[in-house]
Amino acid sequence: MGRILRILIGLGIVGAAAFWVMTAPESLSEDSISGLEPNVTNGETVFYAAGCASCHAAPNATGEDKLVLAGGQKFPSPFGTFVAPNISPSEAGIGGWSTIDLVNAVKLGVSPDGAHYFSAFPYTSYGRAELKDLVDLKAFLDTLPADSTPNQPHDVSFPFNIRRSLGGWKLLFGGTGWVMADDALSPELERGRYLVEALGHCGECHTPRNALGGLDRARWMGGAPDPSGKGRVPNITSAALTWSPEDVAYYLESGFTPEFDSAGGHMAHVIENTAKLSPEDRAAIAAYLQAIPAVSKAAE
Amino acid sequence: MFTKPKLIAAIASATIAAGTAFAGGHNASPEQQAAKARQAQMNLYGYNLGVLGAMAKGEAEFNADIAKGSAANLVALASMNQATYWPAGSDNASIEGTRALPAIWEKSDEVFGYANALIEAATALEAASGDLDGVRAALGGVGKACGDCHKAFRAPR
């Protein structure tokens, strides 16, 4: 009860009239991407690194069907059940979108008609993505099959269904600064940071959240309750994950742990994507995970 | 305290129980014994995959005979009759000590499909076990078969 009350009070504060102006969705203009020539091949890498299909493919899609981004998968959360929308290049999806529409959706969580998206869409991570990569992503998405499945409404109750309140949420948690805030990273660590913190959005599940659903950066990658309510998403800092970098890279390639158990649950979806990255990218992710501060088991 | 005839009877019945389900502890229910058998099967997959994986990762020198033998073991294991491994009521909502989700029993056709996919992937691995690159590539197929089933049918820890 105390937790719910805290959430309500928190939302009351951020939703207050004084914040009305500050909560208005802001978006980037065409000028911000002028001169960026789309590269479909890099767009495909961005697509897999960002794991788009894991949520936007139809429920239980496998193989080639994973490239049909018809939407429809349901994501239960403490705030309600979100349904992934159609993002295939059809009228039911993003067929009518310009490149800047996609950039604003992915980077800022703002729809083409200027509304906030719910943060089940991990735009607080994608906000760190480079504009060039998102221009390339749009070009790749346009090559995928069109599908006419209509979008389903989210099942989110009051007060979380007030989209304007997401503006306040973004003010609180939408910071796009790096968690590993170090200007002198090696090229490999810099790439690993980009893949983990921006495109891979690993922290969205592996980092615990506060009562308002914001990520607790002090316990970055320290493990969290599974969003389904059953089990835990593991701590993947060096305090708990004692695998070698080679073991981590091989897991991301094959799905096999060092004990040759296999990835399951949502992580099996993630492996389908990381298996398609280059060996250098998988090694960069492993290097980043070794470099982040350990979150002790006691602090989980 | 047992009287002598009762003790003999108790030992006899325990022996019979152990004979019918050797893997189970004294107090394990038939469902728990089945779950243990499944986990023993999974451990044997993991052991044989570990032999091949050590070669794939470069931790062990490639040996075609060992690779072929381990891959053949995987084919044999995947082909075993598991009819008695999965009794009703041995899911994670019914008993302790398993992560097998009730969906396994609700969508058994899908599960059989994944079981067959594992046989195919293991057979392809055996066929490719003559050289290291073949093992590396074919292990990916086996990993996918494992992951496809664990994705939907195994609970998180």
Q: Kindly determine whether residue A264 and residue B151, on different chains, have CB atoms separated by under 8 Å.
A: yes
Residue A236 burial (CB < 10 Å; 0-12/13-18/19+)? buried
- B145/B152 Cα distance (integer angstroms): 12
CB pairs under 8 A between A and B: 71
Write down which residue in A111, A138, A154 finishes a domain.
A154
Report the 10 Å Cβ neighbour count for B64.
Answer: 14
Q: What is the ipTM of this complex?
A: 0.77
Q: Kindly determine whether residue A256 and residue B144, on different chains, have CB atoms separated by under 8 Å.
A: no
Q: Indicate whether A167 belongs to any domain.
A: no
For residue A110, pLDDT over 50 is answered with: yes
The DSSP string of A240-257 is T----HHHHHHHHHH-B-
User: Would you state the pLDDT for residue B8?
Assistant: 46
CB of A264 within 8 Å of a chain B CB? The answer is yes
Which CATH number do you get for residue B147? 1.20.120.10
In the numeric block, the tokens 């074919």 are attached to: B138
| H or E stretch covering B40 | helix B30-56
Examine residue A159 and say whether the peptide bond preceding it is cis (omega within 30 degrees of 0): yes
**Which residues, other chains included, contact B35 with Cβ-Cβ below 8 Å and sequence gap of 6+?**
B90, B95, B97, B98, B100
Of A250, A255, A261, the CB nearest to B57: A250
pTM over 0.90: no
The pLDDT tens digits of the residues spanning A216-263 come to: 999 999 999 987 777 899 999 999 999 999 999 999 999 999 999 999
Q: Indicate whether B144 belongs to any domain.
A: yes
In the numeric block, the tokens 């429809």 are attached to: A72
CB of A279 within 8 Å of a chain B CB? The answer is no
The pLDDT tens digits of the residues spanning A175-222 come to: 668 999 988 999 999 999 999 999 999 999 999 999 888 999 999 999
A92 touches A149 (CB < 8 A) = yes
User: Would you state the pLDDT for residue B3?
Assistant: 47
Residues A74 and A140 in one domain: yes
If you average pLDDT over residues A23-37, what whole number do you get?
Answer: 91
- A68/A275 Cα distance (integer angstroms): 19
Q: Kindly determine whether residue B143 and residue A254, on different chains, have CB atoms separated by under 8 Å.
A: yes
- A252/B22 Cα distance (integer angstroms): 37
B46 touches A259 (CB < 8 A) = yes
A116 touches A25 (CB < 8 A) = yes
- The angle that helices A131-141 and A40-50 make with each other, rounded to 10 degrees, is 100
The pLDDT tens digits of the residues spanning A114-142 come to: 999 998 999 999 999 999 999 999 999 99
Among all residues of chain B, which has the CA nearest to that of A247? B57
How many domains is chain B built from? 1
Which CATH number do you get for residue A233? 1.10.760
Q: Indicate whether B16 belongs to any domain.
A: no
User: Would you state the pLDDT for residue A18?
Assistant: 64
Residues A281 and A198 in one domain: yes
